Structure 1
Amino acid sequence: MPTSSPRPTPWQPGDVREAAGGLFALALATFVAITTELVPVGLLPLISDDLTVSEAVAGLLVTAYAFMVAALALPLTSATRRLPRKAVLLGALAIYTLSNVIVALAPTFALVAVARALGGASHAVFFSVSIGYASRLVRPHLAGRALALVTLGASAGFVLGVPLSTSLGTAVGWRTSFFVLAGACALAGVLTALLLPSVPGGGAPPDDAARGARRTALAGVTTANALVYLGHYTVYTYISVLLLAAGLATAALGPALLLIGALGLIGAAYAAARLDVRLRQTTVVTLAVVAGGVLALGLAFPGTVGTLAAAAVWSIGFGACAAVFQTAAIRTRGASPDVVGALVNATANIGIGGGAALGALVLDGAGVAVVPYVGGALVVAALVVVLLGRRAFPRGPAGG
């Protein structure tokens, strides 16, 4: 008599050690995703020269990508809500691969922009789903640490992805950097397929009397998130232009970005250790360091040593930002984890795209020396939102 094969046991949230394989897969996928988004930053001078456009116009490659994410995060997350979450992530990684191949082969700036928009559409889904995914791999009170560990992949994108792509592009051509990145995206897809367990979706918050307060708290978190990313990318999109204008040699640009980015791991480690215990304090300290570093950069410019030192402080603070806002947003329970992820993703990319565009306007108008002051003022505004938003950024551990 034939017997039916037993159903596989569904994934049960556990501690961080039990979820280590899945968290590593998400961190690796996040690394290639962030590198794909930001790789033009270090290559702007090379891309603008090769495609005969200005550096400000080349910076719009970051803007177009980010605005695709901002516009599509919620619609695509909603459209794919019935699909298996793991399959959606794997599909996004495949599109990242294709986008980078097209950029590497594109003969015109217009085609490069189209390929970047394709990558932006993939990014819209990837981060919306991955934020909720990471929070489902562990028990709720460990969500901060899980998200901080996954965002180490984002920090690694700054530490390794962008600087190494810049060094490679400087040495053998910017197109080669995109070919290598396409290979890394494909590899990340294979490892994600092997290591990441499937988890169920859902998880909508209860429809009770506190629903309005939770949504208000979520709005506060996403507003602060947008302001921080707007301020950061107003400056960071043109960091290579700033460093070169401060007297740094072209050959030293990649190593300098590598060193500055590596310091972001300090902030990421701080977030991992503190978020599940002191969310509000961690957020305030993080934004104070980011704002101080960016404003100090403006004061130090065009001195080479002072500019590099200020950028280092700024990088330490920003290394914690992704985990801070993802954790705060998830804990508001203002929407389902995937919708929360979409909102965090969309507002971050409004900041990224808006920052690239705003930085271009300031760069072409007032000049490079003014760019850090504009960015720093926006981060200070985000800090004010956090200080006023006690429900959005509560003291104490999860649930307390």
Structure 2
Amino acid sequence: MILHGTARSVDPAAEGRRLPLSPLLALATAVFITSLTETLPAGLLPGIGADLGVGESAAGQLVTVYALATAVTAIPLTSATAGWRRKRLLLTAMTGFGVANTVTAVSTSYPLTLAARFVAGVAAGLAWALLAGYARRLAPARLQGRAMAVAMAGIPVALSLGVPAGTFVGKALGWRTAFWSMTALTAVLIAWIIASVPDHPGARRSDRTPILGALRVPGVAPVLVVTLVFVLAHTILYAYIATFLDRYGMGGSAGSVLLVFGVASLVSIWVVGVHIHRRLRTLALAATLLVAAAAAVLALFADSPAPVYAAIALWGLGWGGVPTLLQTAAGEAGGVRGDAAQAMLVTLWNVAMAGGGVVGGVLLARFGPASFPRSVLVLLAPVLLVVLAARRHGFRDARPVSAAPPGSGNGVPDAR
């Protein structure tokens, strides 16, 4: 990320033996908030549409506009704020979430609510381009993978537990209460960040490089291609999982299916955190194969609950650590341009999420829900090939720590 203006690959205070859990859990909560803020409206569309006087389809654009805002602003904002101190930037992003969720909670106007969601998406673009590198910066080199895993744990927790909980609160107490809850959590997090998260400088002006210049760095392009295609494949199935389950008579089991997915994802995050420092390539291959195996089971045996639950567990085991793997790969491949690589990763991630909803809708209309897992298999074939081909740059195992200067391309790159 944007931390290459320092003289060391990690902060001297991070050279201790243990992970700084309080700051890392604060970052994990920030990840949780960004993920949950994006997806929360999906479970509350009828109530939101009724209150704002629009149909469910229009209400659904509250999710789309968030993803689009993140996609179009992540790169320019990352470049514009490259010199900001990291804590200031993180607090700015979290304040943006607090304001956006508060406006969403009180708004009675559909255009105003759309504007608030756009602001939330902008805040997400700032946060996502910052959080991965911040987490690595807080840990010694040998524990940076675990630090990333702790921070990224907020994603599966939000998707598997946060979304169902938010939906329950919204249905029981009103959708506005769910967004007020997000505001309250954000306020607590801001205080937590102020008290617990160390500050770090941004990039010196002389160290800043054009964002798109990172594409010329060996290894960055393969990571970005894998990000776009892998996230697209995942989103096609995840966004329509309730529809898929309903097709095979399991529509009432969506909650338990998401729980299994979430628990398996947390196991995946733990495994990735333990082994990513020396096994990034192996883990990326395993993640691809596990998700492909899950899709194959769903394509062949979706008419029976037991194979479905087994497939969902495989899916979670494969997918849970993917955000950590991809952000680590982007940061390490980018070297001194890791900030630019991260910004492009955030952009492509959100393009893939928005595209997954669109492609999934087209597949549903033309071929029905059975086409989802087959599409995942088709898309994961090039992902596997790219990971296999990028063995020297992009997805590498055993990256030993050395005394090489930050960003030199030897040893551990500068923390991003």
State the TM-score, normalized to the length of structure 1.
Answer: 0.86
Q: CA deviation at 1:256?
A: 3.8
**1:12 to 2:13 alignment:** yes
CA contact (8 A) 1:237 1:356 kept: yes
CA contact (8 A) 1:106 1:112 kept: yes
CA deviations over 1:319-354 (Å, ceiling 9, x no partner): 010111111111113443432321221121121111
Residue 101 of structure 1 corresponds to 102
CA deviations over 1:210-240 (Å, ceiling 9, x no partner): x989713011111111111111112212223
- C-alpha distance in structure 1 between counterparts of 2:282 and 2:71, whole Å: 28
Amino acid at match of 2:245: L
Q: Once the two structures are aligned, what percentage of the paired residues are identical?
A: 31
CA deviations over 1:151-183 (Å, ceiling 9, x no partner): 112222123212211232343333332222222
The runs of 4+ residues in structure 1 deviating greater than 6 Å are 203-207, 211-214
Residue 352 of structure 1 corresponds to 353
Range with bigger deviation, 82-91 or 319-328 = 82-91
Q: Which runs of 5+ in 2 are unaligned?
A: 1-10, 401-410
CA deviations over 1:112-145 (Å, ceiling 9, x no partner): 3332221110001011011221122223343222
Amino acid at match of 1:241: T
- C-alpha distance in structure 2 between counterparts of 1:163 and 1:258, whole Å: 9
Range with bigger deviation, 187-196 or 165-174 = 165-174
Residue 225 of structure 1 corresponds to 227
CA deviations over 1:284-321 (Å, ceiling 9, x no partner): 00111122223432333454444343223212211010
Q: CA deviation at 1:86?
A: 0.6
Residue 243 of structure 2 corresponds to 241
Residue 159 of structure 1 corresponds to 160
Matches within 5 A, 1:249-260: 250=252, 253-260=254-261
- C-alpha distance in structure 2 between counterparts of 1:120 and 1:257, whole Å: 24
- C-alpha distance in structure 2 between counterparts of 1:16 and 1:30, whole Å: 25
Residue 118 of structure 2 corresponds to 117
CA contact (8 A) 2:287 2:318 kept: yes
Shift of the 360–102 alpha-carbon distance from structure 1 to 2, 3 Å rule, reads farther
Q: Which runs of 5+ in 1 are unaligned?
A: 1-9
- C-alpha distance in structure 2 between counterparts of 1:44 and 1:305, whole Å: 31
- C-alpha distance in structure 1 between counterparts of 2:349 and 2:266, whole Å: 20
Residue 323 of structure 2 corresponds to 322
- C-alpha distance in structure 1 between counterparts of 2:238 and 2:326, whole Å: 19
- C-alpha distance in structure 1 between counterparts of 2:119 and 2:303, whole Å: 37
Residue 404 of structure 2 corresponds to none
**1:216 to 2:215 alignment:** no
Q: CA deviation at 1:52?
A: 4.9
Shift of the 112–236 alpha-carbon distance from structure 1 to 2, 3 Å rule, reads farther
Residue 190 of structure 1 corresponds to 191
Residue 277 of structure 2 corresponds to 276
**1:33 to 2:4 alignment:** no
Range with bigger deviation, 274-283 or 131-140 = 131-140
Residue 6 of structure 1 corresponds to none
- C-alpha distance in structure 2 between counterparts of 1:82 and 1:230, whole Å: 32
- C-alpha distance in structure 1 between counterparts of 2:309 and 2:214, whole Å: 45
Amino acid at match of 2:70: V
Shift of the 155–96 alpha-carbon distance from structure 1 to 2, 3 Å rule, reads same
Amino acid at match of 2:324: A
Q: CA deviation at 1:16?
A: 6.3
- Aligned pair count reads 386
Q: CA deviation at 1:393?
A: 0.7
Shift of the 32–149 alpha-carbon distance from structure 1 to 2, 3 Å rule, reads same
Shift of the 212–260 alpha-carbon distance from structure 1 to 2, 3 Å rule, reads closer
RMSD over aligned Cα atoms: 2.9
Residue 392 of structure 1 corresponds to 394
Q: CA deviation at 1:18?
A: 5.0
Range with bigger deviation, 285-294 or 175-184 = 175-184
CA contact (8 A) 1:62 1:352 kept: no
Q: CA deviation at 1:75?
A: 0.5
Matches within 5 A, 1:13-162: 13-15=14-16, 17=18, 19-44=20-45, 47=48, 52-54=54-56, 58-107=59-108, 109-162=110-163
Shift of the 105–267 alpha-carbon distance from structure 1 to 2, 3 Å rule, reads same
